[in-house]
Structure 1
Amino acid sequence: MSDAGDRGVESIFEDLYEHAPCGHLSTTINGIIIRVNETLLKWTGYQREELVGQPFVSFLRPGSQLMFETRYLSVLHLRGEVKEVAVSFRHANGTALPMMVNSTVTTDGNGEPVTIRTAVFDASERQEYERELLAAQRKAEASETRIRVLQNASRVLTEATTDTALANQLTKITREAFAASNVSMYLLNAEGKLDLASGNPALGLLDLSGDGPARLLARPEGTMILSRADPLAKSSGLAEVMRGAQVETLVSVPLSEEASPLGVLISSFARSRSFEPDDIGLYEALARQSTQVLTRIHLLQQLERLTLIDPLTGLASRRLIQKRLSDAVTLSRLNHRSIALLLIDLDGFKLINDELGHATGDSVLSEVGSRLSSVVRHGDLVGRLGGDEFVVLCEDVTPDEVDRVVERLHATLRKPLTGRASQKRVTGSIGTILYLGGVPDHIPPDLILEQADEAMYRSKRAGKDQDTTVIVGDASPAEGHPVL
């Protein structure tokens, strides 16, 4: 080939080198740059004379310099090449330029290393892609974590049967889910004030029911995030309280059911925290789950109260009477103290019910219930078994006290009735079972109720407005007081 042809080929190869789709540089075996192509100059913003003659490592950012000197060069000299090593190059304007480099060691005829040739690829797009991939991965992991938290919360919270049990579980779940320093749950009481249900009091001894700085947290309309630097926290005085409690960030989430407030969940953080929309969504999802369980608990409690209270008279129902009698028997056996059960059947009530109707009869039963409650001792239980049968349970009682209670019951029943039944009269046939010195182990509570019923029927057979008291235990017989 002619000299002109040789020069043409060289020109073509030179052009390919200078304008290759990747950067290229050559260095001495000691890392001094001896040649760079035009592509690398464009990427890095340097002039050729600024790079040539300088150590390649001096253009790397500190983290890459350390890796280059301790890892890159040792592998290169050992293997003769390295592939796809990520480094951060310092652009001429001072910014970081991510690169991927492939290097090969060239040797002379004797096999001695002479130069290092390095192909350089712009990794900006790859790095951005990796960042996006990492962000997507973290988002997916966070989403998976939130799902696990909600699944666990759904299982644990629905097992709660009381406000306290629910509050303890919710504060624990929230504290772990958000790595909070403290989580407190407050619930509205019957007076509409917030009581601490679980956790340490928010910000120490802060009272959420008052008009102080904490009023911001008491009943937020939506999820509220406050930092000490927040103007609202400063103007209300809450920032000062937070500073004293070493709290940097507060999150307050309302607990409400169909716009009816139930309470508030408050998380505190010792460090400044920011929350993504998904984080707020998790807070509010936990709040929704909790309010659903709270509503169920309250409904069950209302149903429980309905089964324990006679709806007509407001007295103890048969179920509550049986429960209290069972508890009283157990306690009597432990402390060997006396108990008495009085069963009252109204005389003359059937005539009122038949002649004046059930509405008037119900009014009379309600009036009788109020009268009975007004004459017993403090702490005595008054209940309605059903129909016109009433019960009085007295604990830690003496025979004389029982007599006085019976007398007062007779006296209050003999009083004229009010309303439509004012021309009618009712009295009471009373049967009393008194266990002195404790109820024996072989006597079940149901038997005591049967014994009182039998004593009441003795009174019925003896005539209206009578009473029979049966004493069980160590006592001398007295008139009208048989001993079993």
Structure 2
Amino acid sequence: MNGDWFRSAPCGLVATTLDGEVVEVNPTFLSWTGYRLDEVVGRPFAQLLDPGSKLFYETRHMQVMHLQGEVHEIALTLVKADGAPMPSLINSARDDEAGLIRTVVFSAAERIRYERELLSARRAAETSEERVRILQDVSTAFGVSATDEDVAESFASVAREAFSARETAVLLIQDDELVLVGGTNPLEGKVAPIPELRTTPEVAVVTAGPEEKDFPQVAAALRAERLASLTVTPLVADGVRLGILVCFFARRTEFDSSFFDLLDALGRQASQTLTRVRLQRRLAFLALHDQLTGVANRQLLELTLDDAIRHATDRNEPLAVMFLDVDDFKGINDAFGHATGDLVLIELATRLQSGVRSDDVVGRIGGDEFVAICAGADDPAAASIASRILEICSQPIVVADGIISASVSIGISLYRPGVDEAPTPEQLLVRADAAMYDSKRHGKNRHSFNGV
């Protein structure tokens, strides 16, 4: 086996006896493995292999060699002189004339690295595809969400499936408190609130193991519920904290970057959807409510009154409509200024809402004029409501420049199904307005009726 080709071959060349004892190796093999020639020659080739490869070599490779005379592309792992593994591919052929087995050794490190890169790329592609699918699913779910509850339930459901969590909970901030809005919280009432977890700026992970030092109470609660871990993801939009997502896992304690990337993407999407839903709700509210006082505007009053007339007719129940005007409001503006006048209107709107019943609707129809729609109110009920409003509104209003004594004049229009012909909303308002002017003419700070 001497010759330039043997010494300079770009692969390992090994000759062994038919029993597998090394007879000769080329310099390339020695360079790759780090052995000296005397450390290899005379040694069973199997002793150069790791345990798994040695077993395969002795029980499979040698049998095939004796039966077929050759083997091709067998993956074995050589152990180099320094103990490091060397993945290899070998081809062997039996030379009966020489009584040897000639083996060509190729280093498979690059091939294995390439295969691992391909596998990693494939897994990354599958993960990316799965991530896109999940984001598409949640986008579809969020697209039909109209309330905070819709968003929270959709988010909790998608997160539970996406991360194979046992349970998920979406808690949103309401009046500076975190309130469960979507999903389920298995630790509810079983562990005291942890401020750090409630306000974490990034995803927090808590495990149930005894090594958990930051949140031992939560870890103990997790163990009691047979849970392995939980993650807490903040929901933030435009720098405003909206709430958190909590994922509870029965077994999982290790989380990779793809997990956090997807969790972050879902969290951002949920936060943006919550912001959109709330903005839409706010816009809808502004479209139907007075911007100064927050009560119903003319459009909402007309819609409500139209429905109230129809319901009164269908149920044969009375309906009272009150038209209210602030007495001497021009004098208040002249004496204290329009800014104070606006504050008076805001205060009176609040008092009107507290003076009517919970189901009644109060609105501002323009300027210093308000309307109250009182379904199911007959003459005595309407008179009682009006008296209560008069009393509340006549109480002094404290402003920066002093005390204002304001009052209102009220006109009441009644619709009595079965007695009166069904009116239009405009007819009821005109009659209530006329009754209000009766109150003005008779001294103000009182109520008057204008029956149909």
TM-score, structure 2 length as denominator? 0.75
For residue 285 of structure 2, what is the amino acid of its counterpart? R
Report 1:372-411 matches (<5 A): 372-373=352-353, 375-405=355-385
For 2:219 and 2:407, locate their aligned partners in 1 and report how far apart those are by CA, in whole Å: 70
C-alpha distance after superposition, 1:188-207 (max 9, x if no partner): 112x1101121211x43257
**2:445 maps to which residue?**
none
Question: Contact 1:349 / 1:388 at 8 angstroms: preserved in 2?
Answer: no
Question: In structure 2, what is the Cα distance between the partners aligned to 1:219 and 1:422?
Answer: 45
1:358 Cα deviation after fit:
6.1
What is the alpha-carbon distance in structure 2 between the residues aligned to residue 142 and residue 107 of structure 1? 53
Instruction: Tell me if structure 1 keeps the 8 A contact 2:326–2:406.
Output: no
**Among 41, 44, 48, the residue aligned to 1:51:** 44
1:264 aligns with 2:264: no
Which residue in 2 is equivalent to 1:321? 301
Q: CA deviation at 1:41?
A: 6.7
Measured on the aligned residues, the alpha-carbon RMSD in Å equals 4.6
Distance of 2:219 and 2:21 partners within structure 1: 58
What's 2:425 paired with?
449
Verify the 8 A CA contact 1:344 1:391 in the aligned structure 2: yes
Aligned pairs (5 A) from 1:123-134: 123-134=108-119
Residue of structure 1 in register with 2:13 after alignment: 23
Query: How far apart are residue 252 of structure 1 and its match?
Result: 1.6
Task: Please say which structure displays the higher CA radius of gyration.
Answer: 1
The aligned residue for residue 161 of structure 2 is 176
Write out aligned runs for 1:219-238 (5 A): 219-229=199-209, 233=213, 236-238=216-218
* Cα distance, 1:187 vs structure 2: 0.9
Whole-Å Cα distance in 2 between the matches of residues 410 and 228 of structure 1?
62
Which residue number corresponds to residue 122 of structure 1? Answer: 107
User: Aligned partners of 1:258, 1:36: CA distance in 2, in Å?
Assistant: 72
Decide which of 48, 52, 62 is 1:62's aligned counterpart: 52
Structure-2 separation of matches of 1:267 and 1:206: 17
The answer on 1:37 being equivalent to 2:21 is no
Task: Give deviations 1:419-466, integer Å, cap 9, x for gaps.
Answer: 9998998634432223369x99xx6xxx54133134336647978454
Deviations 1:77-105 (A, max 9, x none): 56x64432212345677664422011335
CA contact (8 A) 1:339 1:394 kept: no
Residues 247, 67 of structure 1: alpha-carbon distance in 2 compared, 3 angstrom cutoff: farther
Q: CA deviation at 1:254?
A: 1.5
**Structure 2 vs 1, CA of residues 421 and 360 (structure 1 numbering), >3 Å: closer, same or farther?**
farther
Q: Give the alignment of 1:150-169 within 5 angstroms.
A: 150=135, 152-154=137-139, 156-157=141-142, 159-169=144-154
Contact 1:18/1:37 (<8 A) preserved: no
CA distance in 2, matches of 1:363, 1:259: 32
CA contact (8 A) 2:386 2:410 kept: no
Q: Secondary structure at the match of 1:300?
A: helix
1:153–1:59 CA distance, 2 compared to 1 (3 A) = same
Tell me the CA shift for residue 283 of structure 1.
Answer: 2.5
**Offset at 1:48?**
2.9
Q: Distance in 1 between matches of 2:133 and 2:302?
A: 45
* 3-state SS, counterpart of residue 161 of structure 1: coil
Partner of 2:171: 186
Distance 1:425 1:117, change over 3 A: closer
Distance 1:299 1:277 in 2: 33
Report if aligned partners of 2:326, 2:369 keep a CA contact under 8 Å in 1.
no
Q: Following the alignment from structure 1 to structure 2, what is the Cα–Cα distance between the partners of residues 65 and 124?
A: 21
Matched, 1:85 2:74: yes
* Secondary structure at the counterpart of residue 49 of structure 1: coil
Q: Distance in 2 between matches of 1:235 and 1:412?
A: 52
Cα deviation for residue 64 of structure 1 reads 7.3
SS of the residue corresponding to residue 237 of structure 1 reads helix
TM-score by length of 1: 0.71
Range moving further from structure 2, 89-98 or 304-313? 89-98
Secondary structure in 2 matching 1:435: coil
Q: SS in structure 1 opposite 2:450? A: strand
* SS of match in other structure, 2:42: helix
The residue type paired with residue 467 of structure 1 is F
| Equivalent position SS for 2:282 | helix
- SS at 2:105 equivalent: strand
Structure 1 SS opposite 2:416: strand
Structure 1 CA distance for aligned equivalents of residues 187 and 392 of structure 2: 54
C-alpha distance in structure 1 between counterparts of 2:172 and 2:437, whole Å: 55
Of 275, 289, 311, the match for 1:295? 275
The answer to whether the 8 A contact 1:227-1:272 is kept is: no
On the 8 A contact 2:147/2:277 being kept in 1, the answer is: yes
Question: In the alignment, is the contact (CA less than 8 A) between 2:70 and 2:94 conserved in 1?
Answer: yes
In 2, distance between residues paired with 1:300 and 1:185? 21
Structure 1 Cα separation of the partners of residues 198 and 394 of structure 2: 54
Q: Distance in 2 between matches of 1:382 and 1:297?
A: 26
**How far apart, CA to CA, are the structure 1 residues paired with 2:316 and 2:383?**
17
Q: Aligned partners of 2:328, 2:431: CA distance in 1, in Å?
A: 20
Amino acid at match of 1:200: T
* Contact 2:15–2:25, Cα closer than 8 Å, also in 1: yes
Which ranges of structure 2 fall in alignment gaps of 5 or more residues? 443-447
Other structure's SS at 2:43 match: helix
Cα distance 1:230–1:280, how it changes in 2: closer, same or farther (>3 A)?
A: farther
